[in-house]
Amino acid sequence: MAIKICAEVFDPYLEIQAYQNENPSKGGAVGATSIFIGTMRDFNEGDAVKGMTLEYYPGMTEKQLEKIITEARQQWHVIDTLVVHRVGEILPAQPIVLVAVWASHRGDAFDACRYIMDALKSKAPFWKKELLATEDERWVVENTDGYKRC
Amino acid sequence: MAIKICAEVFDPYLEIQAYQNENPSKGGAVGATSIFIGTMRDFNEGDAVKGMTLEYYPGMTEKQLEKIITEARQQWHVIDTLVVHRVGEILPAQPIVLVAVWASHRGDAFDACRYIMDALKSKAPFWKKELLATEDERWVVENTDGYKRC
Amino acid sequence: MLMSIKVRYFASLKESVGRSEDNLAFTGLSTVNEVWNRANPGRSLPANILAAVNMDYVELDSNVKDGDEVAFFPPVTGG
Amino acid sequence: MLMSIKVRYFASLKESVGRSEDNLAFTGLSTVNEVWNRANPGRSLPANILAAVNMDYVELDSNVKDGDEVAFFPPVTGG
């Protein structure tokens, strides 16, 4: 299990591969890997966004992420997890968050990955401030349920 | 949208990166990528498994996968999808299937990825034959719901 | 009317019938189930077997027409 | 009893109170809500603000003890 807070741009695929290489023992037990990658969009709430700053609460952020992962492991059969979250100045298309869950079976992997993402969005202390194309700055007020509105 | 049937071992992370590089335009619209990777376990139904052969129905397999992806796109807001499935002789820890879904929002990405995986497991014509550690061969009879039994 | 039908078998069913393909030629309309019976006289269709015509899933009482490819196979186990 | 409490503010709340941290020293028992009032006299706690004590979420009427770190911040928007 690993939790990383990154102040620099990270490559989610390299992070996963590096983590797997450092933890090769789980190989034959793993049947399912569910991965979520959140990346920065260049629009939000109908406005063009050209950058973002991600603030966090060092110490509490890691503590809450650990708690969320423990809750997931209590509910599903999970072999391992990796969570990486970016902080600082971010540009469109850069990764913000990576959640990877390794399990023997796909239901456990999918459910635990989604649980961790949803809980992270509602409980882990991170805050986004958007820099709009108009040069205005604004704090993102609330995370949504994650579906596109028609 | 791409569907690939692979007769050789594939690296799911290289497949995703190569596909993204060939389709860079979607960058700033994507906020969520949900990925599922199925890998071969070295045990099943309580027996040690040392290899597997995956048979398919060329033509029908691709046709059914296209249909499944179309169904997913009718239900959720999906930007792009990639499905790669291995056939032929497989060894433990090798990837069997990759499903990647790119969307603006996480709910759409998660739901569509899971829909594609579950539908693939019940409708795409692939069949697994296991080679046990005892040298016995046996056909896998049915896919399960994907959760570990206690 | 002369019907020319290709029949295909996959996975464990292919092993139990002992062949991967039949090419049938017969006269008269037919259903998927009748295609099985013509290709495998005296052997009833095993339980749980799925059928496809021209690579789409069908019920066993679906009609087949000249030139169709009819496939029989066990439940799928990919992914 | 002398209470020494560190108060922290994050994100839009940090900008609106104009500081990131207070170090309070006062006597008597207190709650999270009272800590806010001591640190921000005359300013009521904005709606929807979350509170944590020692990096765990708490209700506003939770007690604080000497040495605690109390944090106030708006709804989180990570991921």
Q: Chain B: give the shortest CA distance to residue A148, in Å.
A: 6
The answer to whether C8 faces chain B, any CB pair under 8 Å, is: yes
In this structure, whether the domain defined by A2-20+30-139 belongs to CATH 3.90.1170.40 is answered with yes
Size of interface A-B (CB pairs under 8 A): 126
Confirm if A77 and A108 have CB atoms less than 8 A apart.
Answer: yes
Confidence tier at A149 by pLDDT (50, 70, 90): confident
The band of A150, judged by pLDDT with boundaries at 50, 70 and 90, is low
User: Tokens standing for C51?
Assistant: 């059928």
Q: Is the pLDDT of residue B105 over 90?
A: yes
Residue B25 has pLDDT above 90, yes or no: no
The beta strand positions in chain C, using DSSP E, are 2-9, 21-27, 30-31, 50-53, 56-58, 63-64, 69-73
* Segment C19-67, tens digit of pLDDT: 999 999 999 989 999 999 999 999 999 999 999 999 999 999 999 999 9
Q: Which residues of C touch B142 (CB under 8 A)?
A: 75, 77
Neighbours of B92 (CB within 10 A): 18
Q: Which helix H or strand E contains B26, and what residues bound it? A: none
Report the pLDDT value the prediction gives residue B26, as an integer from 0 to 100.
Answer: 74
Residue A50: C-alpha distances to residues A7, A36, A40, A45, B104 (Å): 18, 23, 10, 13, 16
Q: Please indicate, yes or no, if residue C51 is contained in any of the structural domains.
A: yes
How far is Cα B49 from Cα B133, in angstroms, rounded to an integer?
5
Work out the average pLDDT over A31-57. 96
Q: Mind listing the pLDDT tens digit for each residue in B69-93?
A: 999 999 999 999 999 999 999 999 9
Counting as contact any 3 or more CB pairs under 8 A, the partners of A are B, D
**Which residue of chain A has the CA closest to D49?**
A141
Asked whether residue B150 carries a pLDDT value surpassing 70, the answer given is: no
**Mean pLDDT (chain A, rounded):** 96
Task: Inform me whether the pLDDT recorded for A39 exceeds 70.
Answer: yes
How would residue A2 be classed by pLDDT, with cut points 50, 70 and 90? very high
HEC letters along chain A: CEEEEECCCCCHHHHHHHHHHHCHHHHHHCCEEEEEEEECCCEECCEEEEEEEEEECCCHHHHHHHHHHHHHHHHCCCCEEEEEEECEEECCCCEEEEEEEEECCHHHHHHHHHHHHHHHHHHCCEEEEEEECCCCEEECCCCCCCCCCC
Q: How far apart are CA B80 and CA B26, in angstroms?
A: 8
Q: Using an 8 Å CB-CB cutoff, list chain C residues near B70.
A: none
Among B16, B23, B104, B110, most A C-beta atoms within 10 A, so best to mutate, is B110
Which candidate from C12, C57, C79 shows the least CB-CB separation from B96? C79
- Establish if D78 belongs to a structural domain: no
A32 touches chain B (CB under 8 A): yes
pLDDT at A92: 96
CATH code of the domain covering residue D18: 3.10.20.30
Q: Within a domain: residue C59?
A: yes
User: What one-character DSSP code corresponds to residue C12?
Assistant: H
- Quote the minimal CA–CA distance from A1 to chain D in Å: 19
Q: Is C42 on the interface with B (CB under 8 A)?
A: no
- Using an 8 Å Cβ cutoff, are B2 and B26 in contact? no
Note whether residue C78 is domain-resident: no
Give C27's contacts (C-beta < 8 A, 6+ positions apart): C1, C2, C3
Domains contained in chain D, number: 1
Domain regions of chain A by residue span: 2-20+30-139
Question: Quick check: A24 pLDDT over 80?
Answer: no
Residue of chain D nearest A143, judged by CA positions = D77
In a domain, C9, yes or no: yes
Chains D and C touch (3+ CB pairs under 8 A): no
pLDDT score, position A1: 94
Q: Kindly report the nearest CA distance between residue B14 and chain A, in angstroms.
A: 8
Mean of pLDDT values over B124-134 = 97
* Minimal CA separation from D62 to chain A, in Å: 18
- Using left for φ > 0, alpha for ψ between -120 and 50, and beta otherwise, residue A104 falls in alpha
Residue with the larger pLDDT of the pair A57 and C29 = A57
C79 closest CB neighbour out of B57, B121, B129? B121
Residue C79 counted as domain residue: no
Separation between Cα atoms, residue C6 and residue C4, nearest integer Å: 7
In this prediction, residue B23 carries a pLDDT of: 86
Q: Please, which residues have CB within 8 angstroms of residue A124's CB and are 6 or more apart in sequence?
A: A61, A64, A65, A68, A85, D76, D78, D79
Which amino acid belongs to residue B45? E
- Tell whether C31 is covered by a domain: yes
Min Cα–Cα distance to chain B from C76, Å = 5
Q: Has residue D36 been placed in a domain? A: yes
Domain carrying residue D54: 2-73
- A79 with A69: CB under 8 angstroms? no
**CA A54 to CA A118: how far, in whole Å?**
18
Q: Which amino acid is at D7?
A: V
- Residue type for A91, please? L
In chain D, which residue's Cα lies nearest the Cα of A59? D55
Q: Is A45 on the interface with B (CB under 8 A)?
A: no
The answer to whether the beta carbons of residues B93 and A28 sit under 8 Å apart is yes
* Helix (H) or strand (E) segment spanning residue B39: strand B32-39
Q: Any contact of A with D, at least 3 CB pairs below 8 A?
A: yes
